[in-house]
Amino acid sequence: MNASSVQSAYSARFSAAPEITVRAPGRINVIGEHTDYNAGFVLPAAIDKAIWMAAGRRDDGRFAFYALDLDAFFISENADTIFQEQYKWANYLLGVVSEARKDGHNIGGLNVAFGGDVPLGAGLSSSAALESGAMFIFNELYNLGLSRMDIVRLAQRGENNFVGMKCGIMDMFASVISREKSVVRLDCRSLDYAYFPFDTEEYSLVLIDSGVKHTLVDSEYNTRRAECEEGVAVLKQFDPRISSLRDVSMDLLQQHEADLRPLVFRRCKFVVAEIARVEQACAALQKKDFKALGQLMFEGHDGLNLDYEVCVPETNFLVEKARNFTGVAGARQMGGGFGGCTINLVETAAMDAFLDFVRTAYEEAFGIVARVYPVHLTGGTTRV
């Protein structure tokens, strides 16, 4: 799948050439998990797996979407954006229209054909790519005058308010604002961000797809959010300046261990430590100290597993195999949790041997042939 295949599909379906074609990438996250909705730091990047979208305006105000990978076609009855029970995927595009209209943006009809190679359900944020890509297209074709950060926020609002998943800002941010051969540290409180070059021959990043997707991931995700909020509500009584876990130090948290439910204490402990790890990871990257970076990834995984409790036996197994393999600097489960991919920082020279070893062991243990995705860091959403 590439730009020209979606363009041909568009022309065949809508009997016209598209007015615009956009590349909306998937993302990885090096470290900083479950920190975005706690006003902390994240360290994501866009990757060379993307959704391509070809689009053009319609003058009847309706929305017509063709999903090549599903070979599915949706067309709205009129200009209204109504949640689609039957065409769930169409909600990612309708949601951004609904949110942009709340801000007074005048959006007319649109034809879109899209498809890509972001694996679905692997935690690489194909839905965020689709939402951000759609918002990018509306902005271009209807001259909405939005900044890239406006696009990010509207895409997140579409997911939160229309699709109904209470995700943070990381995925859309990474898809839209990333830069080639760099990771980007986002401060999810101020929305300031800084690029860090990730440009080394010696180490490579690779994703190993556990092939497991927990069906409860959305409800568990929302439960973790609520547990963090519970922690903040308790800690605030001792210091009214606290409005998120970003404002909480490990010292303060430990001082109030007895005031929190034990489970809530562990959730908060993970988040406070993980926010600090992002800053340590950036310092390591600046020094090109990949061993230190990798160590932080392992520590992050242990926190996700023991304190945040969002890991599964399959991803724990993949990370343990990585930990015991000479030449792997770091590994951890990536994304919201309960399966998906692990991200591995590996000496390039050891890569083939490591992948052979880990895939064989995984197949023996779980009967699953793990897919692997070498990672190349690319720029964010663009017109092609």
Cβ 80 vs Cβ 44: under 8 Å: no
Residue placing its CB nearer to ligand GLA in the complex, 66 or 173:
173
User: Is there binding between residue 43 and ligand GLA (CB under 6 A)?
Assistant: no
Beta carbon of residue 336, minimum distance to ligand GLA (angstroms, whole number): 3
Residues 270-289, one symbol each (x = binds ligand GLA by CB under 6 A, - = not), give: --------------------
Nearest-approach distance from CB 216 to ligand GLA, in angstroms = 14
SS3 call for 317: helix
CA distance 217 to 50: 23
Q: Return the residue matching tokens 């997707």.
A: 213
36 binds ligand GLA (CB under 6 A): yes
162 binds ligand GLA (CB under 6 A): no
**Cβ pair 355, 206 in contact under 8 A:** yes
Among 64, 146, 163, 171, binds ligand GLA (CB under 6 A): 171
Instruction: Pick the binder of ligand GLA from 37, 74, 265, 298 (CB under 6 A).
Output: 37
CA 241, distance to chain mean position in Å, is: 30
Q: Which residues contact 297 (CB under 8 A, 6 or more apart)?
A: 30, 31, 281, 329, 330, 331, 332, 343, 345
Residue choice 67, 170, 282, 377 for contact with ligand GLA (CB under 6 A): 170
Q: Rank residues 37 and 270 by Cβ distance to ligand GLA and give the closer one.
A: 37
Interface pick for ligand GLA out of 158, 168, 211, 303 (rule CB under 6 A): 168
For ligand GLA, which residue of 9, 26, 33, 344 counts as binding (CB under 6 A)? Answer: 33
Candidate segments 164-172, 244-252, 254-262, 355-363, binder of ligand GLA by CB under 6 A: 164-172
Residue 343 beta carbon to ligand GLA: minimum distance, rounded to whole angstroms: 12
CA distances (Å), origin 340, targets 82, 124, 215, 282, 294: 30, 8, 11, 25, 19
Q: What sign does the CA torsion over 147, 132, 108, 2 have?
A: positive
Binding part of the chain for ligand GLA, among 12-20, 130-138, 168-176, 243-251 by CB under 6 A, reads 168-176
150 an active-site residue? no
DSSP 173-208: HHHHH--TTEEEEEETTT--EEEEE---SSEEEEEE
Give whichever of 144 and 176 is closer to ligand GLA, judged by the CB atom.
176
User: Cα–Cα distance between 295 and 328 in angstroms, integer?
Assistant: 10
Choose the catalytic residue: 171, 247, 352, 356: 171
Residue 335 is a binding residue for ligand GLA (CB under 6 A): yes
Q: Transcribe 75-90 into DSSP letters.
A: E-SSS-----SS-TTH
Q: Encoding tokens for residue 30? A: 């090096």
Q: Which residues are catalytic?
A: 171
The residues binding ligand GLA (CB under 6 A) are 33-34, 36-37, 167-168, 170-171, 335-336
